[in-house]
Amino acid sequence: MNDSYKDVAGLMAAQKKCVVLSGAGISAESGIPTFRSKGGLWEKYDPTVYASIEVFRKDPSKYWEIRGDFIKNYDRYQPNAAHRALRELENMGIVRQVITQNIDGLHKKAGSENVIEIHGSLREIYCLQCNKEYLAPRVPEGSPPYCVCGGVLKPNTVLFGEQLPPQALEKASLESQTCEIMLVIGTSAVVYPAASLPSIAKQHGAKIIEINIEHAFGEADVVILEQAGTAMTRLLEEIKLLIS
């Protein structure tokens, strides 16, 4: 395990082009349950039903039932050591791009600038009728809440059954094709097309480093089985030792 950190730090410190793909696991230490967390929201609600566009069209209150609390409490959720380490690595010129499946906005809250939120963000909420934008946590009361014009509000997130924004997906794919290292942090790598990005990177010659509490990506070159916050703090320390 110790050698893994040193090896990965060595690669990253050599200024290889490093891209990150993050998933729900990176935000677990910020108190946001993953799809698979014990006792989490998703034990009660099947996300493929409650977070589907088909259900949203029929009854938007179902999506607001599972997401409304997060949106109202948006300011309470804070980035953890892993998000902060990635921001610092971006500032050091080592991490070039973060691609996240998360919709919690925590990479941007941590100060990372090059972030592709491929599934959108709960921070932005739009009226489906007049397109007026609301920013979490400031949304009208109600489940679903309605715009001043009377239209239904929908968070700017990609629901099951919806296409990913083509520009974001195209950029994510290009970054995956041209990186030399991909850190795959806290994702079960089962939700497509995001789950295909590490394979794309690998096919184009990148080294894949997985950081997870349970090994999920079969093609990883190095697997660090550790909580994201602990692992990224350690990795950042090792990189600093090498470049100081």
Q: From the list 13, 53, 168, 191, which residue makes contact with ligand NAD (rule: CB under 6 A)?
A: 191
d(CA 137, CA 74): 5
Instruction: Write down the least CB distance from residue 217 to ligand NAD, Å.
Output: 9
Q: From the list 18, 81, 94, 103, which residue makes contact with ligand NAD (rule: CB under 6 A)?
A: 103
Instruction: Write down the least CB distance from residue 191 to ligand NAD, Å.
Output: 4
Measured CA distances, 181 to 19, 45, 118, 132 (Å): 6, 36, 19, 40
119 classed as catalytic: yes
23 near ligand NAD (CB under 6 A)? yes
Residue listed under structure tokens 């083509």: 166
112 near ligand NAD (CB under 6 A)? no
Q: From the list 208, 228, 235, 239, which residue makes contact with ligand NAD (rule: CB under 6 A)?
A: 228
Considering the complex, state which of residue 92 and residue 164 has its C-beta at the smaller distance from ligand NAD: 164
Residue listed under structure tokens 């938007």: 60
Q: In what order do the strands lie in the sheet with 153-157?
A: 133-135, 120-127, 153-157
Q: From the list 97, 101, 112, 176, which residue makes contact with ligand NAD (rule: CB under 6 A)?
A: 101
**Piece in contact with ligand NAD (CB under 6 A), picked from 53-61, 87-95, 168-176, 213-221:** 213-221
Instruction: Write down the least CB distance from residue 192 to ligand NAD, Å.
Output: 10
Residue 156 burial (CB < 10 Å; 0-12/13-18/19+)?
middle
Which parts of 27-66 interact with ligand NAD (CB under 6 A)?
Answer: 27-29, 32, 34-36
d(CA 235, CA 29): 17
Q: Please, which residues have CB within 8 angstroms of residue 32's CB and are 6 or more apart in sequence?
A: 24, 70, 77, 104, 106
Q: Please, which residues have CB within 8 angstroms of residue 209's CB and are 6 or more apart in sequence?
A: 8, 181, 182, 183, 184, 220, 221, 222, 223, 224
Q: How many residues bind ligand NAD (CB under 6 A)?
A: 25
For residue 4, the one-letter residue type is S
* Catalytic (active-site) positions: 119
The residues binding ligand NAD (CB under 6 A) are 23-25, 27-29, 32, 34-36, 101-104, 119, 186-188, 191, 212-214, 216, 227-228
